[in-house]
Amino acid sequence: MIDPVKLTIELIARDTRVPEGNEAQSIQALQMLLENAGFSCHGVDLAPGRPNLVARLDPLGSGAPAIAFTGHLDVVPLGEAPWTRQPFAGEIEAGRLYGRGASDMKSGVAAIVAAALRHAREGGEAPVEIVLTSAEEVGLEGAKVLADRPGALGRAAALVVAEPTANRPAFGNRGNLWLDVHFKGKTAHASEPEKGRNALLAACLAAERFAAYDFGGARHPLLGRSTVNVAIMRAGANYNSVPDRARLGLDMRLLPGTDIDALLVELAGLAGPDASLEEIIRLPGSWTEPTDPWMASAIGIAAGITGANDVMGAVPFNTDGSLLAPAYGGIPSLILGPGEPGQAHQTDEWCEVARIEEAAAIYLELMRRFTPPG
C-alpha cells in the first residue's frame, strides 16, 4: 500500500492555491498512479490547467454501481499572518503534518488514492469510482462541471466525501446562496438631498430586514437553522452627492430542501420596489439520515477502526458532495476525512499523521465490504 502520509506530503509540495489553482500537475500524478493500478480514467476540464478526474475500477466488468470517493486538490491562499513553518514543505513535528492543504484536504485525497491502490492490488471485487476536482474552494466549480455534463460520472450507489472531520462521520451540510442586491435611487446635490432618492439609505433599511429574517423559524436537529449574513455594502461616489446606486452582498446558509425560488421572492419583497436581486452562487444542502442502511454500516466500520463511536453529525461548510450526490441520482453521502475541521484555512494548518493512516484504513474497509445493489 502506498504510504498515504508520504503522498500527502507530495501533494502539499505542489502549490495549488486559488484563484489560479494549477491543479493539473497534482491530478496528473494521481491519474498515473491509478491507471497503473488498473483504473480507467478520463478528465473533464474546468479550464486550462484545471482538470477534474474521474477514475473507475470495475474488476468484474459488471458495470454495477460503485462506491464513489471524492476530494479536491485546490487550497486557499496563505493569509496575511506569517507562517512559522514552510507552507509547502510538509513538515512533521510531534505527530502533526504541517502545510497548506494538510487538513483541507490533501490528506483526504491521499488517503482515498492509497486505499484505492491497495483495493486494486488485493483483487477486490467491489467497483470503485474516484472523483478528484479542481476549484472547490470557489463555489464547487469543478464538481459543477461534472454534475452538469451528461456521462461525466459513472454509476454509483454511495459516496464518501473526504473533507476534514477528524474521521468522525458526518451526514450533511447546509446549502449556500450568495446574492447581490442592487438598489436604484436618484442623485441630487448634497445641499438639497430632498430632491434625490438615497439608494444607500434604502440599502441600510433593507439590510436590517434581511438580518432579522428567520426563514419561517425552521430548524434541523443537527444542521441548526438557515442563516443570512449581510456581508458587503457598496454605495456613494463623493460626499456632496446623494448616492443613486447601492449594493448589498448576502451570504445565506440554507437547510437542505429549502425552496430557493420561493425564498428569492420573499427576499425581493424585503429588498423593496427599487431593488433587484443578482444570484452569484446557488449550492444545495445535503443530508443522509444516519439510519440509512449503507450509512449505518459505514458508521460502524469507522467506529471499528477508530475505536470511537463519536460522530460529527454535520459540517458547517459546503462540499462537492452537495452536487455530486444528486448527480449520481440522490445516493447516500458520508462526509469523513482525516483533516481537523478547525484547521481548514488556518495559518500553520496541520493534520494528525495518525488520522491520515486511519482514514486510508477506513476507506479500504468501505471498499472491501461494499456490495453493489441489485
SS (H, E, C) 249-295: EEEEEECCCCCHHHHHHHHHHHHCCCEEEEEEEEECCEECCCCCHHH
Among 23, 58, 74, 163, the active-site one is 74
Nearest Cα residue to 135 out of 6, 24, 226? 24
pTM of the model: 0.92
Q: In this structure, are 23 and 151 located in the same domain?
A: yes
Number of domains making up the chain: 2
Positions in the chain short of pLDDT 70: 1
Cell of residue 184, nine digits: 436604484
**CATH at residue 209:** 3.30.70.360
Question: In the chain, which residue ranges form alpha helices assigned H by DSSP?
Answer: 4-12, 24-36, 106-122, 141-148, 199-212, 260-271, 293-306, 321-327, 353-369
Q: 350 near 181, Cβ under 8 Å? A: no
Q: In this structure, are 50 and 30 located in the same domain?
A: yes
* Domain boundary residue, one of 256, 283, 310: 283
Average pLDDT, the chain: 96
Among 136, 340, 349, 352, the active-site one is 136
Domain housing 113: 4-173+285-369
* Domain boundary residue, one of 283, 298, 317: 283
Q: In this structure, are 289 and 360 located in the same domain?
A: yes
- Give DSSP secondary structure letters for 325-363: HHHTTS--EEE--SS-GGGTT-TT-EEEHHHHHHHHHHH
* Domain boundary residue, one of 283, 314, 335: 283
Element (H, E) at 93: strand 92-93
In this prediction, residue 138 carries a pLDDT of 87
> Strand pairing partners for 233?
248
Catalytic site includes residue 136: yes
Q: In this structure, are 39 and 168 located in the same domain?
A: yes
Is omega for the bond preceding 19 within 30 degrees of 0, making it cis? yes
Would residue 374 count as lying in a domain?
Answer: no
In this prediction, residue 1 carries a pLDDT of 66
Q: Is 117 helix (H, G, I), strand (E, B) or coil?
A: helix
In this prediction, residue 365 carries a pLDDT of 98
Q: In this structure, are 40 and 143 located in the same domain?
A: yes
Q: In this structure, are 315 and 258 located in the same domain?
A: no
Digit-coded pLDDT (tens) for 117-176 = 999 999 999 999 999 999 999 899 999 999 999 999 999 999 999 999 999 999 999 999
Q: In this structure, are 33 and 154 located in the same domain?
A: yes
In this prediction, residue 150 carries a pLDDT of 95
Q: In this structure, are 77 and 154 located in the same domain?
A: yes
